[in-house]
Amino acid sequence: MRLALLGGTGDFGEGLALRFARDTDHEILIGSRDPERAREAVTAYEDTLETHGASGSIKGFTNEMVADRADIVVLAVPPYYVGDTVDAIADKLDGDTILVSPAVGMKRDENGMHYHSPPAGSTTELVANRAPAGTPVVGTYHNLPANTLADLETEIDFDTPVVGDTDAVQMVISLTNEVEGLRGLAAGPLANAREVESLTPLVINITKYNSELDEAGVKWV
Amino acid sequence: MRLALLGGTGDFGEGLALRFARDTDHEILIGSRDPERAREAVTAYEDTLETHGASGSIKGFTNEMVADRADIVVLAVPPYYVGDTVDAIADKLDGDTILVSPAVGMKRDENGMHYHSPPAGSTTELVANRAPAGTPVVGTYHNLPANTLADLETEIDFDTPVVGDTDAVQMVISLTNEVEGLRGLAAGPLANAREVESLTPLVINITKYNSELDEAGVKWV
């Protein structure tokens, strides 16, 4: 399977790329608006994997090119770029390509982070509204700490809720569970995306007020 | 210390009463609008404790009477009763009595549960607005599964976020951590209550779509 990480040069894209490349046999495609940056990121990720005695298949191209080739496309971009990113790749999506939305709209104030959803109700639903009709859309990975993912020395044991159409959710959960220490948990259809996205500001707030939980994740027990 | 559970005859009150009675030395006061129901609940809880080879100090009175005696008052009532319950006990609260709000406004549809906050922003902030000025208000215990708490055979290992004024939050966290397998996690001031309350519908939705996680809790790892 080919897994594309759009905005794959950012911290979160790096974490996902390293974990998926190390722990699965899938081909990881790093997308960026600038293909040169994507290729530089691939070189850096390959170096990191080698340092940890690991390897994997990673390639870098433009966002459009990786979306064209991939079976699953993760929109690892900031929430305010999500809509434009979907527009940019729209004509590369066939009805089978699964779009995965991990972005969360938030506002920070002196107390902490607060959930701030777009008019669509959630960023995941915004993606579903902007994508071509019939595109399977899944919301997940919102609550995973980027730096912990990117640090391959750290053994993880994290859950991540997954919302969307049942078949696409099951496919993304299967893929997610191939990564050591990650478990996807079905959380219902897209209409439940708000509740899933709202977990992220809570995780950040708990990190802010409990320094020992910096870069922690959440587990259902 | 005296811990009052208003609405302590319900499922959630039962769970808290049994765990606090078994695991701490504090006096547990069960409040109900009907003092006879409170006394019946106390008898039932004492029987349950005895069945499990445990004991504890539990007494039952009206909501007003337990609020008058307690150091910490938990509003273990449905969200639509919270405001009236605060009004009913308002003249029994001195400036030191900590009010704890565990209720969450939610709406259920065919997909699952959705967070539905009052105009105050959260039920915890509604409590703060309705309570006499200067009353320390804390929001916590929203995400704890009532039936698991009430089943003393089940060893728990749950986290619960805690919001409010720093001193009151620290006192409630200390109390919470006395219960075996419970850990309170500071999540900031009352302004962060929405993010804390929003976790509950997500926990319920994940339960709905993952039957093996029925009555599960959440842990920061």
Which of B191, B198, B209 has its CB closest to that of A186? B209
B194–A205 C-beta distance less than 8 A = no
Residue A94 pLDDT? 87
Average pLDDT over chain A, rounded to an integer: 97
State the ipTM, two decimals.
0.96
State the residue for tokens 């991990």: A102
B209–A187 C-beta distance less than 8 A = yes
B221–A194 C-beta distance less than 8 A = no
Given a cut of 90, is residue A165 above it in pLDDT? yes
The rounded percent of chain A whose pLDDT value lies above 90 is 98
Residue B169 pLDDT? 98
Yes or no: say if A10 and A77 are a contact pair by the CB < 8 Å rule.
yes
Residue B94 pLDDT? 87
Pairing of strands A98-101, B106-108: unpaired
* Tokens, residue B81: 């009763």
Given a cut of 90, is residue A58 above it in pLDDT? yes
The domain A2-213: what is its CATH number? 3.40.50.720
The answer, for A188 touching chain B at a CB cutoff of 8 Å, is yes
The answer, for B219 touching chain A at a CB cutoff of 8 Å, is yes
Q: Per residue of chain B (221 residues), what is the pLDDT tens digit?
A: 999 999 999 999 999 999 999 999 999 999 999 999 999 999 999 999 999 999 999 999 999 999 999 999 999 999 999 999 999 999 999 899 999 999 999 999 999 999 999 999 999 999 999 999 999 999 999 999 999 999 999 999 999 999 999 999 999 999 999 999 999 999 999 999 999 999 999 999 999 999 999 889 999 99
Residue A92 pLDDT? 96
Q: Would you place residue A214 in the very low, low, confident or very high pLDDT band (cuts 50, 70, 90)?
A: confident
Which of B111, B186, B209 has its CB closest to that of A210? B186
In angstroms, the separation between the Cα of residue B170 and the nearest Cα of chain A is: 12
Residue B214 pLDDT? 87
A216–B202 C-beta distance less than 8 A = no
Which residues, other chains included, contact B203 with Cβ-Cβ below 8 Å and sequence gap of 6+?
A220, B143, B145, B216, B217, B218
The answer, for A142 touching chain B at a CB cutoff of 8 Å, is no
The answer, for A177 touching chain B at a CB cutoff of 8 Å, is no
As a whole number, mean pLDDT of residues A81-106 equals: 96
In angstroms, the separation between the Cα of residue A134 and the nearest Cα of chain B is: 20
The answer, for A106 touching chain B at a CB cutoff of 8 Å, is no
Q: What is the DSSP string of chain B?
A: -EEEEETTTSHHHHHHHHHHHHH--SEEEEEESSHHHHHHHHHHHHHHHHHTT---EEEEEEHHHHHHH-SEEEE-S-HHHHHHHHHHHGGG--TTPEEEE----EEE-SS-EEE---TTSSHHHHHHHHSPTT--EEE--TT--HHHHH-TTS---EEEEEEE-HHHHHHHHHHHHTSTTEEEEE--SGGGHHHHHTHHHHHHHHHHH-GGGTT--EEE-
Q: Which of B107, B111, B85, B185 is nearest to B144 (CA)?
A: B185
* Tokens, residue A39: 């290729």
Given a cut of 90, is residue A46 above it in pLDDT? yes
A115–B194 C-beta distance less than 8 A = yes
As a whole number, mean pLDDT of residues A105-132 equals: 97
Which residue of chain B is at minimal alpha-carbon distance from A181? Answer: B221
Give residue-wise pLDDT tens across range A74-90.
999 999 999 999 999 99
Domain boundaries, chain B: 2-213
A194–B209 C-beta distance less than 8 A = no
In angstroms, the separation between the Cα of residue A213 and the nearest Cα of chain B is: 8
From the DSSP assignment, how many helices (H) and strands (E) are in chain A?
A: 9, 11
